[in-house]
């Protein structure tokens, strides 16, 4: 392992958030730049050769050192808690609509769910899973909501493109709901 790889490994280990190229460049200041992506590839190859219990994954626009899933139960025991997000069924439904339709207004979420969603949206905002992304172009210029970086981190996603496709979910669940319900025509202003 060369000096650059050691530096990236230490920064990944110490960083509470995913480390991206921009942040790495800021840390290095005027020193010789390091290509984060290729360094991560080299580190992962070394981890695999040495059969380590760690892997570096791309999450929420950056990289994080993670443990292999087989060790998660032991880590949970170490911290005596689960990292699972506890959401009620209504909160999970609203979060799903927001994740797939974003940016989406509260009224649109309520229309799809068929019930009032003010308190659920407030809860999701308190947990920092969603945020205001802008205002709609429709009358009243409603607030538009979208998911946050914490949402991506919590669900282990690199981007929203990693969400399961609605057709895949319909096939898996045997559900005949219309995926076109999740198309949006809102424009952020």
Preceding peptide of 103 cis, ω within 30°:
yes
More reliable by pLDDT, 146 or 175:
146
Does position 185 have pLDDT exceeding 50, yes or no? no
What is the rounded average pLDDT of the residues 94-112? 95
Write out pLDDT tens, residues 65-86.
999 988 887 887 787 654 567 8
Residue 186 banded pLDDT, cuts 50, 70, 90: very low
Quick one: tokens of 37?
A: 């992506």
Between 184 and 86, residue with greater pLDDT: 86
Between 8 and 187, where is the model more confident? 8
Q: For the domain with range 3-79, which CATH number is right: 3.90.550.10, 3.30.70.870, 1.10.10.10, 1.10.3720.10?
A: 1.10.10.10
What number is the average pLDDT over the span 146-174?
A: 84
Cβ atoms of 102 and 133 closer than 8 Å: yes
Classified as helix, coil or strand, 15 is coil
Report domain extents, the chain.
3-79, 89-182
Chain mean position to CA 31: 31
Query: Is the fold of 3-79 the same as that of 89-182?
Result: yes
65 vs 19, 20, 80, 83, CA distance in Å? 10, 13, 21, 16
16, burial (CB in 10 Å: exposed 0-12, middle 13-18, buried 19+): exposed
**pLDDT value at position 188?**
38
Domain 89-182, CATH number (from 1.10.10.10, 3.40.50.300, 3.20.20.30, 1.10.340.30) = 1.10.10.10
């Amino acid at each position: 392992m060369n000096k650059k790889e050691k530096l990236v490994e230490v920064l990944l280990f110490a960083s509470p958030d995913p480390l991206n190229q921009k942040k790495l460049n800021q840390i290095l200041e005027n020193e010789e730049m390091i290509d984060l992506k290729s360094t991560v590839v080299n580190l992962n190859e070394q981890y695999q050769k040495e059969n380590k219990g760690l892997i570096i994954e791309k999450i929420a626009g950056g990289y994080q050192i993670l443990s292999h899933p087989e060790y998660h139960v032991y880590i949970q025991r170490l911290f005596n808690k689960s990292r699972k997000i506890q959401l009620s069924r209504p909160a999970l439904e609203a979060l799903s609509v927001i994740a797939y339709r974003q940016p989406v207004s509260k009224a649109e979420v309520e229309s799809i769910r068929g019930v009032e969603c003010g308190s659920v949206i407030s809860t999701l905002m308190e947990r920092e899973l969603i945020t205001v992304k802008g205002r709609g172009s429709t009358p009243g210029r409603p607030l538009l909501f979208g998911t946050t970086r914490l949402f991506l981190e919590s669900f282990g996603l690199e981007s929203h493109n990693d969400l399961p496709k609605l057709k895949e979910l319909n096939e898996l669940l045997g559900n005949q709901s219309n995926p076109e319900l999740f198309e949006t025509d809102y424009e952020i202003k």
